[in-house]
Structure 1
Amino acid sequence: MKDVQNSADTRGIAIQKVGIRDAHLPLLIKTKEGDYQQVLANISFTVSLPMEYKGTHMSRFQEILNKWTRLPIAEVEMADILQEAMDKLQAETAAIHIEFKYFVDRFAPVSKRKSVLDVDCFFDGVMEREQPLQFTLGVKVPYTSLCPCSKEISEYGAHNQRGVMDVRVSFDDEHECILIEDLVALMEQQGSCQVYPLLKREDEKFVTEKAYDNPKFVEDILRDGVIALRQLEGIKWFALDCDNFESIHNHSAYASHEEFVE
């Protein structure tokens, strides 16, 4: 049959990204323990299209992805996916963005009751022909913050709230990216206290008092997060957004920072 996509286009416009979005597939994500966790992923997958061609072959994106639904995926595998896309679609660049919810084991601080914390994550990969993969890991980590000002001016108590930090990191070619579990654990330490899915009374007492003894503004959490990220071996770039969902205001408190690390 006639291949319309491969027919010539005369408008002289190269397309930077063309492909599929909102493709939902089951994927296996490698864990710190060496096994894998099955997740439901939302995927965007694109390549560049030279000005000479009318269109790309959309079915090939899905064909490439389908074979990975039963195989663990991390940085190396994403490079293989993007290389295959460039080869099959005669593209100079390819990109993939994979969003998923990942579950991390958590133990209550006193009772040690086990639960799982759900963390929104993404893998982002970009490749140019004959160049290494540019990989970014993103996680959204919940935390508790307690207001230092409220603690200082109140005769008793202090207002606190849940917050979320949006963390994105990239590492140089000589170092593997940090594991999801390790990045989540590192960033949880920057709030006034961690968030736990399951707490008994003795645990609730512990986290309430820990937050009270460790008050932080959103600016404090951001700055402590920046210092922690700078210490990671091999990190070349990071971005950090912190949102405190204020309990006494009808708005959030927000702070943001990104930098290249030398």
Structure 2
Amino acid sequence: MFSSDSNHINTNPLPDVTSNTLTDSSLPLQWVGMEKIGVPLTLALDNGKHQSLAAQADIFVSLDQASAKGIHMSRLHAILNTLDEEPFTKSLLDRLLDEAVSSQAGISNNAKITLTFDLLLKKPALLSNESGFQAYSVVVNGEVINGSHAYDIDVTIPYSSTCPCSASLSRQLYANAISEAFDSETIDKASLLQWIQSDQGSVATPHSQRSYAYIKMSTSNNPWPALDSLIRHFEEVIGTSVQTAVKRIDEQEFARLNANNLMFCEDAARRIKACLETLPYVTDYWFKVEHQESLHAHNAVVIDQK
């Protein structure tokens, strides 16, 4: 049986070590805060719809008042809890960053918030009526430094790449096999087509690999594009994005598209760089292109920046 004292609420003032205890060393600190806080987000898509998703948030403020023992972390957590009150936009993050600074009662001048989440986009198959969802990793980092806002957006784009060198070598083997199978000066068309579609026609295939573009963009204080629109734009630039649910007709079309879109990692990198140079809201960028080779046990990589 519980005593009634167990329900007693202490009404005495609670100690506040942060405010009432002096620091051991009067030195400012650049960033103090918390990482990997679970938060809900509502993202506005370019088709007018909204997507609810789970994210992880990091939030920090500067500790500029050297004599202060520490920051008010609970106030920062409370600010993050308002993320789901309206759709996620740049103006929302502008406000939350400013609130993070003002919540610290004069001991902080700067704040930063980083949000990490997977954006789910519905993708139709190439030819059939199939469709499925593709997850894209997105990181949005915002900072306010002495009243000035700036943002970085990171996206990861998976795609398929077929090696031009292996395609050329495969074509040579294919030509040699036809020359050996048909030794006369003329070839009967029906016989050739039958041979091509038989097991004998499987002479060599170019090697393809799942590839990734890791793109980091600085947008300063410029307005953002819709994130789903940005991702689809990069996919169009690269040319052979990975598929979700498919039927055989889609897989055949995918093979055709890859044959028409042969690329080394240098080709993909130049396409991405040319695209980044045309985006008016991007003030700086860094990217890495990674082709996870099927021929080799290592990856082919390009790294570049503005």
> Given that residues 170 and 177 in structure 1 are in contact (C-alpha distance below 8 angstroms), is that contact kept between their aligned partners in structure 2?
no
User: CA–CA distance in 2 between the matches of 1:177 and 1:67?
Assistant: 21
**What is the aligned counterpart of 1:167 among 215, 229, 234?**
215
Structure 1 residue 192, shift from structure 2 partner: 5.2
**What is the aligned counterpart of 1:233 among 272, 280, 285?**
280
1:257 aligns with 2:304: yes
User: CA–CA distance in 1 between the matches of 2:258 and 2:112?
Assistant: 41
Letter in 2 for 1:128: I
Residue 2 of structure 1 corresponds to 15
1:135 aligns with 2:187: no
What is the CA RMSD across the aligned residues, in angstroms? 1.6
User: CA–CA distance in 2 between the matches of 1:9 and 1:61?
Assistant: 21
Q: Using a 3 Å threshold, how does the CA distance of structure 1 residues 134 and 145 change in structure 2: closer, same or farther? A: same
**What is the aligned counterpart of 1:60 among 63, 75, 85?**
75
TM-score computed with the length of structure 2 as normaliser: 0.80
**What is the aligned counterpart of 2:244 among 190, 197, 200?**
197
> Given that residues 131 and 244 in structure 2 are in contact (C-alpha distance below 8 angstroms), is that contact kept between their aligned partners in structure 1?
no
- Structure showing greater radius of gyration is 2
**What is the aligned counterpart of 1:245 among 281, 292, 301?**
292
Aligned length: 257
Kindly provide the CA deviation profile for residues 165-213 of structure 1, in whole angstroms up to 9, marking residues without a partner as x.
111223354x422221222112213435111111110010011111112
> Given that residues 192 and 215 in structure 1 are in contact (C-alpha distance below 8 angstroms), is that contact kept between their aligned partners in structure 2?
no
Q: Using a 3 Å threshold, how does the CA distance of structure 1 residues 245 and 165 change in structure 2: closer, same or farther? A: same
1:13 aligns with 2:30: no
> Given that residues 76 and 103 in structure 2 are in contact (C-alpha distance below 8 angstroms), is that contact kept between their aligned partners in structure 1?
no
The structure whose residues are more often strand, as a share, is 1
1:80 aligns with 2:73: no
The structure whose residues are more often helix, as a share, is 2
Task: Report sequence identity in percent.
Answer: 25
User: Pairwise mapping of residues 87-102 of structure 1 onto structure 2 (< 5 A)?
Assistant: 87-89=102-104, 90=106, 91-102=108-119
Moved more, 116-125 or 149-158: 149-158
1:158 aligns with 2:173: no
Structure 2: gaps (5+ residues)? 1-13, 174-203
**1:196 is paired with a residue of what secondary structure?**
coil
User: CA–CA distance in 2 between the matches of 1:70 and 1:192?
Assistant: 37
1:146 aligns with 2:168: no
Kindly provide the CA deviation profile for residues 136-161 of structure 1, in whole angstroms up to 9, marking residues without a partner as x.
11111110000011111222420001
User: CA–CA distance in 1 between the matches of 2:261 and 2:96?
Assistant: 45
TM-score computed with the length of structure 1 as normaliser: 0.93
Structure 1 residue 79, shift from structure 2 partner: 0.8
Residue 265 of structure 2 corresponds to 218
